[in-house]
Structure formats: structure tokens, C-alpha cells
Amino acid sequence: MKKIRYIAGTVIILVFLTIGFFSFIDSKVEYANFSYASNTHRKCQVKGTWLKDKETRYDAANNQFIFHMRDENNHEMKVILDGAEPNNFRMAESIVAKGKVKGDHFHATEVLTKCPSKYEGDSEDLKKSNL
């Protein structure tokens, strides 16, 4: 009877460890550029800048925000985000898009924006204040 308890306990622990391992592997998202993201079929984070001179619009029928961005290697790609335009998108210094390349565009599930800090001063002002 005790052997059955140990075997059942061991099986339950192994099942939970296996589920936890595969959940961790699926949630791991690495930084990449558009070239690498095109070659891998996994979810990636691409850091870049918004191309203001290219098409930027919200498609209300499909609930998608569409824009173009340039990654850190100067590759440009159309980005389609599920959902509305992110907060502070138009004043962002840089953008991080999380998603996968699908065909000729990057399909993002999340977009993070980095805006200029209102607390950072001019470097000359900072030097003067330290004197």
C-alpha cells in the first residue's frame, strides 16, 4: 500500500514539473532583430523606432493598430498590433514590439514604449549643479 502512495506521489510531482518546464519555455521571449525574428518561428521582442513618415493607422474593423518600425540594424518592417494604439506611442523615443513575423509583417501581441523622461535634465545643467 505504501509503494502505491510513493508511486502516485512521484507521478504527480513529475507531471507538475513537466507542465512547469513547458510553461517556462513558452513564456521565454528573447530580444532579436527583424532578420532573426524572420528566421525563427518563436515569439521575439524587437526594439526599434517608429517610422513617422510611413502609414500609421487604426483598423477598427479588425481592432488592429498598424505602423512601421525600424530595428537597431536599420531593417524596416510593417507591424500589426492586436488592439488599439499604445499609450504615449506618438512621443516614444523607442518601441519594443513582442510577437512573431508572419509573412511580410511582424504580428505583435504587445508594444511597449519608452518615452523621454521629464525628470532628466540637460547634461550641462547637471554639471553646473555639481560644482
pTM, whole model, 2 decimals?
Answer: 0.68
Element (H, E) at 37: helix 34-39
**Which domains are present in the chain?**
30-114 (2.40.50.140)
At 64-113, the pLDDT tens digits run 999 999 999 999 999 999 999 988 888 888 999 999 999 889 999 999 98
pLDDT reported for residue 79: 95
Buried b / exposed e along 96-117 (16+ C-beta atoms within 10 A): bbbbebeeeebbbeebebeeee
At 7-35, the pLDDT tens digits run 888 888 888 888 777 766 555 667 888 88
Q: How far apart are CA 59 and CA 104, in angstroms?
A: 18
